[in-house]
């Protein structure tokens, strides 16, 4: 761990939290406004990259012991599974459905199957981006 980057490490702890919260907001806002799984995944990856810049690779791997290739596989299962799910209802591939529900804290809310697809995209983007970054970082 680098000891001379105390200010960077302190700011990174707060900034990472804010970036991840905003990426989750962008993820869920993506159905009605610009955003979604791709942009949310890139923002989450940028938060992890900020951790890599402030700390070293071993420290970040200890904090986030995630197998990013497995994350890519799970994301692909979500994305492809959502797309093929429509075929079971005799609808074209990637046809999404939604329904309105009255939820306790949220009120009259629409729930979409597109959220599952975006979750897959979110996980794939994080997995691929971090695999590339860590591969570059380990070779140096």
pLDDT reported for residue 2: 53
The tokens describing 75, both together, are 């994301």
Percent of the chain residues past pLDDT 70, beyond the cut: 96
Indicate if the pLDDT at residue 121 is higher than 90: yes
Average pLDDT, the chain: 89
Q: CA 51 to CA 63: how far, in whole Å? A: 10
pLDDT reported for residue 56: 85
Residue 100 sits at φ, ψ, to 5 deg, of: -95, 135
Bridge pairing between strands 107-112 and 98-103: antiparallel
Q: What's the average model confidence in pLDDT over 19-45?
A: 90
SS3 65: coil
User: Nearest to residue 52, comparing CAs of 42, 38, 62, 37?
Assistant: 62
125: left (phi over 0), alpha (psi -120 to 50) or beta: alpha
User: pLDDT band at 105, cuts 50/70/90?
Assistant: confident
The tokens describing 122, both together, are 């979110």
User: pLDDT band at 111, cuts 50/70/90?
Assistant: confident
User: Nearest to residue 122, comparing CAs of 86, 78, 81?
Assistant: 78
Helix H or strand E segment including 107 = strand 107-112
User: pLDDT band at 4, cuts 50/70/90?
Assistant: low
Indicate if the pLDDT at residue 138 is higher than 80: no
Q: Is the pTM of this model over 0.85?
A: yes
């Amino acid at each position: 761990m680098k000891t001379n980057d105390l200010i960077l490490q302190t700011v990174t702890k707060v900034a990472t939290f804010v970036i991840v919260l905003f990426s989750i907001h962008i993820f869920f806002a993506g159905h009605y406004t610009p955003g979604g799984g791709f942009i949310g995944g890139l923002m989450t990856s940028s938060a992890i990259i900020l951790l890599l810049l402030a700390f070293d690779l071993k420290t970040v791997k200890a904090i986030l012991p995630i197998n990013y290739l497995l994350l890519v596989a799970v994301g692909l299962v979500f994305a492809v599974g959502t797309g093929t799910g429509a075929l079971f209802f005799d609808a074209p591939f990637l046809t999404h459905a939604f329904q309105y529900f009255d939820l306790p804290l949220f009120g009259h809310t629409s729930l979409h199957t597109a959220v599952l697809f975006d979750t897959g995209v979110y996980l794939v983007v994080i997995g691929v981006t971090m695999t590339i970054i860590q591969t570059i970082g380990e070779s140096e």
